[in-house]
Amino acid sequence: MAKVIFQLEGAGAVTVDANVGDNLLELARRVNVAIDAPCSGNGSCGKCRVQLLEGEVETIPSRHISQEEFDAGWRLSCNCKVTGDCTVLVPDIASAYQSRMKTADLSSPQEVAIFETAQRELKESGIVFENPFRSGVVSMTAPSQEDTMPDVERFIWAVEGTFGVEKVEIPYTVMVKLASTLRANDFTVSVKGEVKGSTFKCMEICAPEDTALVGCAIDIGTTTVTMVLVNLESGEILAKGSSGNGQIRYGADVINRIIQQSRPGGKEKLQKAIVEETLAPIIRNLCRSAKVTPESVVRISVGANTTMNHLLVGVDSDPVRMDPYIPSFFGWDGLLAGDLRLPVNPLAPVLIAPNIGSYVGGDITAGTLASLIWDKDEMSLFIDLGTNGEIVFGNRDFLMSCACSAGPAFEGGDISCGMRATDGAVEACVLDRETMEPKLTVVGDAGQKCVGICGSGIIDIISELFRCGIINAKGLFIREGNRVKRDQHGMGRYILAFPEETETGREVSINEVDIDNFIRAKGAIFSAIDTLLQSVDMTVECIDRVYVAGGIGSGINMKNAVNIGMLPDVDLEKFQYIGNSSLTGAYAMVLSDGATAKCAEVGANMTYLELSTYPGYMDSFVAACFLPHTDARLFPSSCQEV
């Protein structure tokens, strides 16, 4: 036995009895110490670093830890075995993922406009914006010796009159506070609930001033969670917020999380990470910000990929990744907020946008709903760039979809200096062809020094390195200079910022491994598009519109994305970045039963193409793993000066 102390950066310590030979990352997970491990412990991402403060551990060398860092005690926790008592410092990375919560500035007209536009356009496409939730002020006389009706009967009678229904259901949560709420408000109360036919199902009883009916639309991404609170009557956005998905500590991609959930107690841990540690804090924050009670939130809608949906519900998601790759559910309409113990009205139904396959989930059906491509004559390509890349192609007559594993590169994962698009992230970049000096755009206030590179920045850098002839089509460095360095193994890297120029004092660079990772990610996307088009016997010429969605950010430079062979080489005017379409779709669903029905219809009519078994996909992928592509004719406009 050995005593291992995890010293949490800025947050106390956790002491645990370990066995000699225990893996340090596993040990940390067992006691819920959050160590960022996007690759889930296979040694490839280099993010799970901890610093040895006392004692020793057994480890193997890693390319992610320099000699100086090693000497300073830095180790990759996934590569460490316990040999005796030790103390390690755990950097506050995981909590950084979670705590980076943001309640958006709703004064920003752009934020609000996205939802207003979506609602208007969906209405134009024939979607009726109505839902069955109602609130109203209900008045009764107090009981007396002349009027001896008990509270329940008295209340039912009054509610029937107010809402014009024949039957009233009083569930437990309302029943337990009925007597006290009626008396505290002199028998005049606000009642909120759902009308089902001639039945009114009570969901809340409160002071007569509070008649708010609120919906909560949530996009659950593998990496990031975003949500809006919505006035269910007007459609007005009341608050918007986001944070990292707390499941990140169990792996950056869905496969690693499925593996984690299949272990004993795993479903509960993964569910807790998304519900208690991620959704609940944002919801509480947004309710405070919007000044609404949690009980006012009477409906929730969720746009999430198939795995996220399974993990949210707590359903075994092993079938998602196991042959024959059939998830446990596409749609399911039995979920209540109380089942998940979300801090809203426990009776609030949770609408889940339906999955259509293991790797095309509700985020895509919701996003497709929002994109309106199902209502158009023109041929549209809808691309959701996330940890997985999902593609939908078609029009009002047909919809084809497929998915590819892009990995976390678009969100900064698997990249040595990668990060999400938050303060300090290089989000755009232009290089001088002669001097090779960069001009960086960094997220944050003026003067913000750079910390790392986010997805849109990586696209720009690689595109620029290629345009300037600094790297070749395989992503290898072919020019030398002040900013191009090689390590002892000869691996080249381009330095965007020297240590003294950065926030952290560590250089921000991109190396050949990063570029290779990214090329494979963009190759996966392009070959998926290519294969999907082939499957319907079409080519890029047939594309009338390209909708790009996802967390990569509005900063994405479409021209550069075409230049590196990630997006098809069509007229730039055909491109439109539509932001978080999963959230926009969820917004429509929470407000409108018509939108919810349309989303189900879109999902049911969408054909899923399983790429892994599709003949020719692997060839197409390999061909796409060049800059821009082995078949240059596919990218006639690539590599010309902007």
Nearer to its own copies, 168 or 546 (CB): 168
State the minimum distance, in angstroms, from the CB of residue 615 to its own copies. Answer: 15
Q: Does 150 bind its own copies (CB under 8 A)?
A: yes
**Selection from 55, 59, 49 nearest residue 3 by Cα:** 55
* Amino acid occupying residue 284: R
Q: Does 604 bind its own copies (CB under 8 A)?
A: no
**Selection from 317, 306, 325, 327 nearest residue 259 by Cα:** 317
State the minimum distance, in angstroms, from the CB of residue 408 to its own copies. Answer: 27
User: Judged by CB under 8 A, which of 22, 151, 194, 277 binds its own copies?
Assistant: 151
State the minimum distance, in angstroms, from the CB of residue 254 to its own copies. Answer: 16
User: Judged by CB under 8 A, which of 10, 264, 324, 490 binds its own copies?
Assistant: 324
- How far is 440 from 427, CA to CA, in rounded Å? 8
> Cα 179 to the chain's mean position, in Å?
43
Stretch that binds its own copies, among 32-40, 69-77, 324-332, 371-379 (CB under 8 A): 324-332
Nearer to its own copies, 180 or 482 (CB): 180
**Selection from 464, 356, 462 nearest residue 415 by Cα:** 462
Q: Does 326 bind its own copies (CB under 8 A)?
A: yes
The answer to whether 323 touches 297, Cβ cutoff 8 Å, is no
Nearer to its own copies, 516 or 610 (CB): 610
User: Judged by CB under 8 A, which of 67, 110, 144, 488 binds its own copies?
Assistant: 144
3-state secondary structure 217-264: EEEECCCEEEEEEEECCCCCEEEEEEEECHHHHHCCCHHHHHHHHCCC
Q: CB within 8 A of 145, min separation 6: which ones? A: none
- How far is 512 from 443, CA to CA, in rounded Å? 24
- How far is 569 from 559, CA to CA, in rounded Å? 9
Stretch that binds its own copies, among 87-95, 164-172, 439-447, 565-573 (CB under 8 A): 164-172
- How far is 248 from 274, CA to CA, in rounded Å? 9
Q: How many residues bind its own copies (CB under 8 A)?
A: 40
User: Judged by CB under 8 A, which of 5, 14, 96, 178 binds its own copies?
Assistant: 178
State the minimum distance, in angstroms, from the CB of residue 176 to its own copies. Answer: 5
DSSP code at position 529: H
Tokens representing residue 156 in the block: 């039912």
Q: Does 339 bind its own copies (CB under 8 A)?
A: yes
User: Judged by CB under 8 A, which of 236, 318, 507, 601 binds its own copies?
Assistant: 318
Residue environment code for 414-440, b if the CB has 16+ CB neighbours within 10 A, otherwise e = bbbbbbbbbebbbbbbbbeeeebebeb
State the minimum distance, in angstroms, from the CB of residue 318 to its own copies. Answer: 8
Q: Does 542 bind its own copies (CB under 8 A)?
A: no
The answer to whether 526 touches 532, Cβ cutoff 8 Å, is no
- How far is 518 from 520, CA to CA, in rounded Å? 5
User: Judged by CB under 8 A, which of 76, 237, 304, 335 binds its own copies?
Assistant: 335
Q: How many residues comprise the chain? A: 642
Nearer to its own copies, 155 or 621 (CB): 155
Beta pairing class for 297-304 and 350-352: parallel
Q: CB within 8 A of 220, min separation 6: which ones? A: 245, 274, 279, 302, 303, 304, 305, 308, 309, 312, 363
Q: Does 148 bind its own copies (CB under 8 A)?
A: yes
Stretch that binds its own copies, among 163-171, 203-211, 212-220, 248-256 (CB under 8 A): 163-171
State the minimum distance, in angstroms, from the CB of residue 262 to its own copies. Answer: 10
User: Judged by CB under 8 A, which of 69, 85, 169, 233 binds its own copies?
Assistant: 169
Tokens representing residue 124 in the block: 């134009």
Q: Does 128 bind its own copies (CB under 8 A)?
A: no
Q: Does 327 bind its own copies (CB under 8 A)?
A: yes
Q: Does 85 bind its own copies (CB under 8 A)?
A: no
172-177, Cβ contacts within 8 angstroms, sequence gap of 24 or more: 173/203, 173/338, 173/345, 173/346, 173/347, 174/202, 174/203, 174/204, 174/205, 177/205
- How far is 72 from 66, CA to CA, in rounded Å? 10
State the minimum distance, in angstroms, from the CB of residue 525 to its own copies. Answer: 25
- How far is 481 from 288, CA to CA, in rounded Å? 54
Tokens representing residue 239 in the block: 């608050």
Q: Does 313 bind its own copies (CB under 8 A)?
A: yes
Nearer to its own copies, 350 or 558 (CB): 350
Contact track, its own copies, 218-257, x by CB under 8 A: ----------------------------------------
Number of Cβ within 10 Å of residue 54's Cβ equals 11
- How far is 560 from 137, CA to CA, in rounded Å? 57
Q: Does 393 bind its own copies (CB under 8 A)?
A: no
Q: Does 132 bind its own copies (CB under 8 A)?
A: no
State the minimum distance, in angstroms, from the CB of residue 271 to its own copies. Answer: 9
State the minimum distance, in angstroms, from the CB of residue 391 to its own copies. Answer: 20
Q: Does 149 bind its own copies (CB under 8 A)?
A: yes
- How far is 20 from 57, CA to CA, in rounded Å? 10
User: Judged by CB under 8 A, which of 336, 400, 473, 542 binds its own copies?
Assistant: 336
Stretch that binds its own copies, among 25-33, 311-319, 382-390, 538-546 (CB under 8 A): 311-319
Contact track, its own copies, 256-285, x by CB under 8 A: -----------x------------------
State the minimum distance, in angstroms, from the CB of residue 152 to its own copies. Answer: 4
Nearer to its own copies, 349 or 555 (CB): 349
Nearer to its own copies, 319 or 585 (CB): 319
CA trace torsion 343, 95, 260, 267 (10° rounding): -10
Nearer to its own copies, 155 or 374 (CB): 155
Q: Does 143 bind its own copies (CB under 8 A)?
A: yes
Nearer to its own copies, 151 or 530 (CB): 151
State the minimum distance, in angstroms, from the CB of residue 75 to its own copies. Answer: 37
Give me the residues that bind its own copies (CB under 8 A), please.
143-145, 148-153, 169-172, 175-176, 178-180, 183, 267, 313-316, 318-319, 323-324, 326-332, 334-336, 339, 355
